Structure 1
Amino acid sequence: MKKLTVLQTLPALHSGGVERGTLEIARALVAAGHRSIVASNGGRLVDQLVREGSEHIQIPVHRKSLASLFQIRPFRRLLRELKPDIVHARSRIPAWIAWLALRRMHPSTRPRFITTVHGLYSVSPYSAIMTKGEVVIAVSETVREYILTNYPSCPPERIKLIYRGVDPEEFPRGYQPSAQWLAKWKQDYPQLIGKKVLCLPGRITRLKGHEDFFSLLLKMKSQDSAVHGLIVGGVEEKKRPYLAELQARVAELGLSSDITFTGLRSDIREVFSQCDIVLSLSTQPETFGRTVLEALSIGTPVVGWSHGGVGEILNACYPTGAAQLNNQPDLQLKLIKTLSMKDHCINAKSFSLKNMCALTLDAYQQRPITN
């Protein structure tokens, strides 16, 4: 197997699924003896990336403006210096910079260009750059269908379906946190003790289905006073008015003592282990649904709308939790049934991190169709 130099590029390395996927592939490259480089504007995950054996090059490939065009020449100089075999773009602005830099390079020295479509972007010439890769990785069947439907100029044979995955060692079945963590959790959230905890994870945005969650809690409270809602997720500064709107709505519905907002948590595995059910109620289809898979991996059941990547995960791993989209009675029925079950037949093995990494490294090695 040829030893490769792979340059992944994305806007920054702060947090999120794209960032985590980048680090996971970087780690797999290093473990396989390849040279792993990431070009981004930096962020808190850079230290971990470097600690795990990769190199990081800070370059401003994050600005969504015409000013980013000034990064094309520096990026091209970087490519000539590093001589990577692969340039793997994971976001639109870095993809445009990389693609335009590559166009002026001689074919004999030009690295191969690979993209991963992580989102169901607005359909436009700007977004089309993510379908220009010699290999176009789709993170779910939902994404593959999105590409085929909206970008017919992308040859279907170039699209490679590679599901995201989780490490069963990081999210083991039956995981239980330390006694110290549990003591702190109970101290911070005594209102959860003895309750059936229903968790809605995700950033505070209008797309995450908070209103559906409140409606569900109201109906469940009328039947079972022991349920408690837990909203886990950070809020950007510009979304603070929406958070205040949600909190006012909770008070208006008389649910102030029944719903807890935790804010951003970096210990989501531990949090999920203390929940009876995790919910996924996004109003728009998710491209994948990593938190859903993490919950299922440790054995916490998930109930959610069966659409997008989340629907794919639920139908493959835990069909009991797949509710018909926007059908509140079906959602409530699935929730009641799940709460009544003592044992949950969950199989998350088909979405493994090991498989994701192996398929991605295989895509790096294979010569793609270029017609």
Structure 2
Amino acid sequence: MKVVQVLPALELGGVERGTLEIARGLVAAGHESVVVSAGGRLVEQLEREGSRHVSWELGRKSLLTFLQAPKFRRWLAEEKPDIVHVRSRMPAWVVWLAWRKMDPATRPRFVTTLHGMHSVNRYSAVMGKGEKVIAVSETAKQYLLENYPEVDPAKVTVIHRGIDPDEFPRGYQPSDEWKQQFYSDYPQAQGKRLVCFPGRITRWKGHLDLVNVVARLSQQRQDFHVLIVGSDPKDKFIHEVRAAITEAGLEAYFSFLGTRSDMKNLYAISDVMLSLTSTTAEAFGRTVVECLSIGTPVVGYAYGAVAETLTAIYPQGKVVVGDVEGAVQRVSSLLSSRDEIRENPYVLSNMINKTIWLYEGLECC
């Protein structure tokens, strides 16, 4: 079986990570894996793991991008894949326009994956046009069917994203050398109970609610420190967050770590992680699952897929959306003692196997 996955680029991100994971699984199962993108830092890893990369910029949001559909149709006819799988809206439009004019008897089967809850409009509707549509959570499936009633529910399959439990093993601890370097870089965190807050610094991730949580928590105890992990892609909202922290006089409680590649270590040294998304729902919530897999509890607003994952693994971490006081009390309790975390059902091997089974089911029909 030959599978072509299409996405805008191979930089860092959840969509990119999922693409590499499926590509690796295809190669391991003896299938041919091809990825089409504009390139990026993950191309080297992709090719090292046995897939072929084809450079093609299909993610640029311009009417001119649509003009590439005939060329892509010819490429598909020459390449003769069994499956073409799109994961992002702009490439999905180009591929769909190319695919729909091919001979139904010989064209590849068309699969889409809904990775996020996009704004509801005709542009986003393309993610429901696959012959099979993969939703990365029950939350994502519900969003799709509620907002696009033309999508046949029978063709939507939930395949939860998954993590490698060997990469995030229960009870993991970083090396003494790593800890020494970390506390040398962030001495303000030394000897404190640590609260991890990962994610891009955008308005919808809940950073301003975080400031309110810390303001109230600091009235009860002063033995904690917050690690804000992530960057501001537009370098705008971070200034508002910093200003809110300064206005509240809470600078001593926060460290901004930027984007990190050592999340496993940060989860492990933390006493609790917070997730306060309350506007744009998470479609899966990978950081929640990774952190819980290691054994660090998570307190989060019961919204979107965060509610879904917490219900499955750590229901006592759920807090009503916007209930800052409830979050404060739960965090304070966990800074003093932990409780049981269930086994993680969101395992990478399950995701890969279910995706390949879906491909194979389409190929044979």
Which category describes the TM-score, using the shorter chain as reference length? over 0.9
Q: Tell me the residue number matched to 1:42.
A: 39
Q: What CA deviation, in whole Å up to 9, does each residue of 1:20-64 have, x standing for no partner?
A: 000000010000000001001111011111111111000011101
Could you tell me which runs of 5 or more consecutive residues in structure 2 were left unpaired when the two chains were aligned: none
Mark the CA change 1:133 to 1:259 in structure 2 (over 3 Å): closer, same or farther: same
Whether 1:248 and 2:250 are equivalent positions in the alignment is: no
What is the deviation of 1:92? 0.6
Over the matched positions of the two proteins, sequence identity in percent amounts to 50
Query: In 2, distance between residues paired with 1:170 and 1:115?
Result: 27
Contact preservation (8 Å) 1:158, 1:369: no
Question: Does the residue aligned with 2:215 lie in a helix, a strand or coil?
Answer: helix
Query: In 2, distance between residues paired with 1:347 and 1:13?
Result: 33
Question: Does the residue aligned with 1:231 lie in a helix, a strand or coil?
Answer: strand
Mark the CA change 1:348 to 1:70 in structure 2 (over 3 Å): closer, same or farther: farther
Whether 1:341 and 2:337 are equivalent positions in the alignment is: yes
CA RMSD of aligned residues (A): 1.4
Instruction: Give the one of 74, 77, 81 matched to 2:78.
Output: 81
Query: In 2, distance between residues paired with 1:51 and 1:367?
Result: 28
For residue 340 of structure 1, what is the amino acid of its counterpart?
A: S
What is the deviation of 1:220? 1.0
Query: In 2, distance between residues paired with 1:26 and 1:347?
Result: 30
Instruction: Give the one of 270, 281, 297 matched to 2:293.
Output: 297
Question: Does the residue aligned with 2:203 lie in a helix, a strand or coil?
Answer: coil
Q: Tell me the residue number matched to 2:3.
A: 6
Query: In 2, distance between residues paired with 1:74 and 1:187?
Result: 54
Query: In 2, distance between residues paired with 1:233 and 1:367?
Result: 39
Could you tell me which runs of 5 or more consecutive residues in structure 1 were left unpaired when the two chains were aligned: none
Structure 1, 214-223 or 329-338: larger mean CA deviation: 329-338
What is the deviation of 1:74? 2.1
For residue 83 of structure 1, what is the amino acid of its counterpart?
A: K
TM-score (norm 1): 0.95
Matches within 5 A, 1:1-371: 4-236=1-233, 238=234, 240-284=235-279, 285-342=281-338, 344-367=339-362
Q: How many residues align?
A: 364
What is the deviation of 1:369? 12
What is the deviation of 1:348? 4.1
Contact preservation (8 Å) 2:271, 2:334: no
Contact preservation (8 Å) 1:134, 1:368: no
What is the deviation of 1:265? 0.7
Contact preservation (8 Å) 1:293, 1:348: no
TM-score (norm 2): 0.97
Structure 1, 165-174 or 345-354: larger mean CA deviation: 345-354
Mark the CA change 1:368 to 1:283 in structure 2 (over 3 Å): closer, same or farther: farther
Structure 1, 331-340 or 254-263: larger mean CA deviation: 331-340
What is the deviation of 1:179? 2.4
Question: Does the residue aligned with 2:270 lie in a helix, a strand or coil?
Answer: coil
What is the deviation of 1:319? 0.8
Query: In 2, distance between residues paired with 1:143 and 1:208?
Result: 18
